């Protein structure tokens, strides 16, 4: 039997078939036929099978190629998704970190720490805009302090004004490093700090790489950081304003309550004092008469002296009550006066006592303060009372400093001593009538209450600041121009 013919072109492409053909040709005649039949192989069928196998193999290879391409594509998607997830986590952490504090220093420190994750910088700083004076002030710097001067130059050149006005970050080359081949190129990244189109300032970074090496992702992340920081700064300012407003509200409420209490007690005290004062004077005059009549009876005189001393003490309390109630010479007209002169007058009246207690005094009066209007006698009474209080707070000697300065439309007078200070539990009640920590020393608890009333009549305020062991500071604020018709509101 002759060998079947088959397509030689397959032999060029299919090496396994070529090898089989070589083996069959080595046989002759019947041996070849017999061998072929014994193997159960028909060459044509084998060729078709090999051809089909080649097609299948190419199909599998093509499918594998598609699978590999798909795997590469899916891996790229996974990498991008993971990067997006990491970015979201970073943004979440950024938001949480920066928004977790109302302290501006903490907020700016977090901003600079987080920036280091995304961009390598040599120095950075936050500069806030003072709209009233049209100035840019550095509020936080990290790294070289030269950045502040460089930013001021950019401010003068109009670059920063453009950034804040347009609301877009900008990267500019540091031309000094570009011009020097032996120094690595540096760039400035300037990012606006904006909240609801309100310009707060800028965040500037000085980075050791060329302008063109920054990626859009880096700039975007820095922009997100700056936006979160601007919101946090604005919130911190609002929170601070709210705290101040609440504190002022509490002070106002306390003053209203205290004024109401003083008015009620003053009215009561005035009536009681008048009723008690007349019989008390009769008792005092009788005791003094009995002393004169019984000079020879020692024990009787001693007893009468004891009665006289206590009656005089009661009389002092009544005079204080009358003063507190408003019956202490407010009929006198208000006049213009020099505050520095009045304070020196008050000092002169108690100078001997202060020197005896080894108390150093210092009066610092700002120049150019206009004259005030008020009842000079009453105000000097307040000044003397505060000076004597300071004296009592410094039994072993010390220093009393009185400073006078203008505070907008008011004059501020501070009485600062180096004494023992005031305990916290006493501070809230220190201006209440009859409240005293010196009852065993003859204190009536009316001195500061009377002073409070006088200052209030003059449309001013009196407050105290103190910590135990750190001395005390009494602060009087008087208006430069009291409202007409209100000066003697408490006279009736």
- Cα-to-chain-centroid distance, residue 424: 24
pLDDT of residue 87: 61
- C-alpha 120/C-alpha 274 separation (Å) is 82
Mean pLDDT value across residues 371-387: 88
> Tokens 């009468």 belong to which residue?
304
Mean pLDDT value across residues 162-175: 87
Does residue 476 surpass a pLDDT of 90? yes
309, 271, 269, 268: which is closest to 288 by C-alpha? 309
If pLDDT is split at 50, 70 and 90, which confidence band does 22 have? low
Mean pLDDT value across residues 214-234: 85
Instruction: Return the top range by mean pLDDT from 140-144, 333-337, 413-417.
Output: 413-417
Higher pLDDT, 176 or 32: 176
Show the tokens assigned to 101: 């504090």
Instruction: Please answer whether residues 6 and 43 qualify as being in contact, where contact means their C-beta atoms are separated by less than 8 angstroms.
Output: yes
Lowest mean pLDDT among 153-162, 323-332, 352-361: 323-332
Higher pLDDT, 31 or 68: 68
Helix axes 15-25, 43-99, angle to 10 degrees: 160
Instruction: Please answer whether residues 422 and 435 qualify as being in contact, where contact means their C-beta atoms are separated by less than 8 angstroms.
Output: no
- Residue 170, phi-psi category: left (phi > 0), alpha (psi -120 to 50), beta (remainder): beta
Does residue 98 surpass a pLDDT of 70? no
Pairing of strands 359-365, 335-337: unpaired
pLDDT of residue 278: 65
Helix axes 376-392, 447-457, angle to 10 degrees: 150
Mean pLDDT value across residues 330-337: 70
pLDDT of residue 386: 92
If pLDDT is split at 50, 70 and 90, which confidence band does 126 have? very high
Higher pLDDT, 359 or 27: 359
pLDDT of residue 241: 84
290-310 in b/e form (b: 16+ CB < 10 A) is: bbeeeeeeeeebeebeebbee
Does residue 438 surpass a pLDDT of 90? no
pLDDT of residue 226: 86
Instruction: Please answer whether residues 476 and 413 qualify as being in contact, where contact means their C-beta atoms are separated by less than 8 angstroms.
Output: yes
Does residue 403 surpass a pLDDT of 50? yes
pLDDT of residue 413: 96
Query: Of all residues in the chain, what percent carry a pLDDT higher than 70?
Result: 71
Higher pLDDT, 483 or 228: 228
Lowest mean pLDDT among 16-30, 115-129, 232-246: 16-30
pLDDT of residue 118: 79
Does residue 453 surpass a pLDDT of 60? yes
Does residue 395 surpass a pLDDT of 80? yes
Phi, psi of 58 (to 5 degrees): -65, -35
Mean pLDDT score of the chain: 77
Show the tokens assigned to 3: 């060998």
pLDDT of residue 166: 86
Mean pLDDT value across residues 47-53: 72
Does residue 6 surpass a pLDDT of 70? no
pLDDT digits (tens, 9 = 90+) for 202-217: 999 999 888 888 888 8
Instruction: Please answer whether residues 115 and 246 qualify as being in contact, where contact means their C-beta atoms are separated by less than 8 angstroms.
Output: no
Instruction: Please answer whether residues 457 and 488 qualify as being in contact, where contact means their C-beta atoms are separated by less than 8 angstroms.
Output: yes
pLDDT of residue 269: 61
pLDDT of residue 332: 54
- C-alpha 427/C-alpha 346 separation (Å) is 25
Does residue 328 surpass a pLDDT of 50? no
- C-alpha 233/C-alpha 445 separation (Å) is 46
């Amino acid at each position: 039997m002759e060998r079947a013919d088959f397509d030689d072109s397959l032999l060029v492409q299919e090496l396994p078939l070529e090898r089989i053909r070589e083996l069959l040709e080595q046989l002759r005649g019947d041996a070849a036929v017999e061998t072929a039949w014994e193997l159960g192989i028909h060459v044509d069928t084998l060729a078709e099978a090999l051809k089909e196998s080649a097609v299948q193999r190419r199909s599998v290879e093509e499918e594998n190629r598609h699978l590999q391409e798909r795997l590469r594509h899916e891996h790229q998607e996974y990498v991008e998704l993971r990067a997006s997830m990491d970015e979201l986590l970073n943004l979440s952490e950024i938001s949480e970190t920066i928004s977790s504090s109302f302290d501006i220093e903490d907020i700016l420190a977090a901003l600079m720490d987080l920036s280091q994750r995304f961009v390598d910088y040599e120095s950075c700083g936050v500069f806030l805009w003072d709209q009233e004076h049209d100035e840019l002030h550095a509020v936080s710097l990290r790294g070289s302090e030269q950045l502040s001067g460089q930013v001021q130059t950019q401010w003068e050149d109009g670059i920063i004004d453009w950034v804040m006005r347009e609301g877009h970050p900008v990267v500019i080359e540091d031309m000094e490093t570009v011009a020097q081949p032996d120094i690595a190129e540096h760039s400035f990244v300037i990012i606006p700090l904006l909240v609801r189109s309100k310009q707060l300032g800028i965040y500037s970074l000085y980075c050791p790489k060329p302008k063109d090496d920054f990626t859009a992702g880096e700039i975007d992340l820095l922009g997100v950081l700056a936006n979160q920081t601007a919101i946090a700064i604005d919130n911190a300012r609002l929170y601070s304003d709210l705290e101040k407003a609440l504190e002022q509200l509490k002070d106002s409420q306390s003053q209203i309550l205290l004024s109401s209490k003083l008015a009620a007690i003053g009215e009561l005290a005035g009536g009681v004092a008048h009723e008690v004062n007349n019989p008390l004077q009769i008792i005092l005059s009788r005791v003094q008469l009995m002393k004169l009549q019984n000079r020879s009876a020692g024990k009787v005189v001693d007893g009468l002296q004891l009665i006289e001393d206590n009656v005089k003490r009661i009389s002092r309390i009544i005079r204080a009550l009358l003063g507190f109630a408003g019956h202490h010479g407010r009929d006198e007209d208000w006049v213009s006066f020099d505050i520095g002169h009045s304070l020196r007058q008050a000092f002169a009246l108690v100078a001997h006592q202060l020197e005896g207690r080894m108390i150093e005094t210092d009066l610092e009066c700002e120049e150019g303060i206009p004259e005030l209007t008020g009842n000079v006698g009453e105000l000097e009474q307040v000044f003397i009372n505060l000076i004597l209080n300071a004296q009592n707070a410094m039994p072993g000697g010390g220093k009393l400093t009185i400073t006078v300065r203008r505070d907008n439309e008011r004059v501020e007078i501070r009485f600062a001593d180096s004494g023992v200070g005031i305990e916290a539990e006493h501070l809230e009640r220190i201006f209440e009538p009859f409240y005293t920590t010196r009852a065993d020393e003859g204190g009536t608890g009316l001195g500061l209450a009377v002073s409070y009333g006088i200052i209030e009549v003059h449309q001013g305020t009196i407050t105290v600041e103190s910590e135990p062991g750190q001395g005390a500071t009494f602060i009087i604020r008087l208006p430069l121009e009291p409202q007409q018709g209100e000066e003697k509101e408490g006279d009736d």
